[in-house]
Amino acid sequence: MLSIGIVIPCFNEEESLPQLRDKLKEFDSAIKEKYLPFYYFVDDGSTDQTFKILKNFFQEQNQFILKHEVNSNLGAALKTGITSARKHERLCFLDSDCTYDPMIILPMLEQVEAGADVVVVSPYHPNGGVEGVPKWRLSLSLGLSRIYRLVLRADIYTFTAMVWAARTDALPATLSEKNDFTFLTESLFAILRSGKKVEERPTILSQRKFGQSKMRVLSTIKSHLGIIRKIILGQI
């Protein structure tokens, strides 16, 4: 039975953690049929009760609570989780607000076992969709993904997705230096350019029910534009 590391970044998510706990109970029961799951919750410098609640909710032997003393952004939290979870044969990323139901990981892992190196959720795939997401966020993410698809000439529709399932050895040995949301995008580029097989899982992106998005919009846009510029200039 393969072991799987599941990385879940958390920042000021005290409102959403009860939902996450309930969703993960169902997910954990289902995934244990084929995998040995290990959960890595990364509290990225939360200023609310997130860390305390994580410690109260997730106390099993296969559940680990990691902590940043200062908020360092999504990419940094993922890197902390990846570093701890690299020993497992499979690696997944989940968001703590459950905008994607954790159960989506199960068919994504089926794609991995069928031959994909990395599978990403894809609301912008023709068979995917978006429900209730603020128009500004949808325009930003969809627009960026279309630009990346154009300049990279890659047959991928979504380049900004948070939820992944992967063979651990498919991830770059040296992780991207990006600490913000573009960590995911830059990592995906590195995987594509290494010749690994990347597939998408068309799905529905829904609006979060609790809390607010932690994306720093202006800095994220600036970071994406910097990446696009490097691609056009052949520097990536």
Residue-wise pLDDT tens digits, 67-95: 999 999 999 999 999 999 999 999 999 99
Residue 85 C-alpha from the chain's centroid = 14
Give 154 or 22, the one with higher predicted confidence: 22
Q: pTM for the whole thing?
A: 0.88
User: Among 40, 47, 51, 56, which Cα is nearest to 3's?
Assistant: 40
Q: What is the pLDDT of residue 175?
A: 92
Q: What is the pLDDT of residue 217?
A: 59
The average pLDDT across 53-60 equals: 96
Residue-wise pLDDT tens digits, 90-147: 999 999 999 899 999 999 999 999 999 999 999 989 999 888 766 666 667 777 788 8
Can you list the domains of the chain with their CATH numbers? 2-232 (3.90.550.10)
Residue-wise pLDDT tens digits, 186-215: 899 889 889 999 999 999 887 655 555 555
Q: What is the pLDDT of residue 66?
A: 98
Q: What is the pLDDT of residue 18?
A: 96
Q: What is the pLDDT of residue 137?
A: 64
Q: Read off the pLDDT band of 159 (50, 70, 90).
A: confident
Give 212 or 7, the one with higher predicted confidence: 7
